[in-house]
Amino acid sequence: MNSAPLTKRQRQILSFYQEYVSDQGMSPTLEEVANQFGITKVTIFGHVEELVRKNFLRRDRKGTSRSIQIMGPDDGTSQTSFDPVRAAGQDSFASSSQKTSDHSLLLPIVGQIAAGTAIEAIEDQQELDLAELIPKHADVYALRVKGMSMIEDAIADGDVVLVERRNQARNGETVVAALPPDGEVTLKRYYAEDGHIRLQPANSSMEPIIVEGDVEIQGVVISVIRKL
């Protein structure tokens, strides 16, 4: 039985998926979900990943494709399966690294992350071959940085950050964090302090983001790639 608590937005997204699959026999695209709620595709991607982590959705990998199944409410069995790559075409976002040969590791660039307060999705999915940097790493994705709030950590506008998918972070780590109430995502250094979370920009001209309670961590930055 699914028991992990959902945010209001996650409940809305799960309900939308269930209704859409019931009516259409296939999943909506990320763009359709984003349009439904008036938020970006990569923010939707983050919520879907949280629904997978909380066992309301299930992701099955078959070769280089990925499918999502809506889990049953009582016993964890799947109700309906769909392939978001088939359904969404080029606007879908892969969620993890994919090996294509003995010498290649392709990571998806799933969108642009604002080094400010929010993510904006890119239109065309891209891939990076990173076999020499992180061979056999199974749970990493890439984001292109938009903005200069992390410049003093040498993370500049246009850089690509490699993110290990984790839902916990240590103080001082650079994280992808979803902000309440709508799950807009930002890249900042993470500090858990007395009664609140401080998301600290690496730019002395900017103020930290203070979040009372907790935030959803969607990953921790493990590397930065810059095209010179």
Active site annotation includes 92:
no
Q: Which of 22, 97, 188, 205 is catalytic?
A: 188
Q: Which of 67, 149, 205, 227 is catalytic?
A: 149
Q: Is the peptide bond before 28 cis (omega within 30 degrees of 0)?
A: no
Q: Tell me the Ramachandran region of residue 89: left when phi exceeds 0, alpha when psi lies from -120 to 50, beta otherwise.
A: left
Integer-rounded Cα Rg, in Å, for the chain is 17
User: Alpha carbon 12 to chain centroid distance?
Assistant: 17
| Residues composing the chain | 228
What letter does residue 29 receive in the DSSP assignment?
Answer: P
Active site annotation includes 149:
yes
Alpha carbon distance 110, 148 (integer Å): 19
Catalytic residues: 149, 188
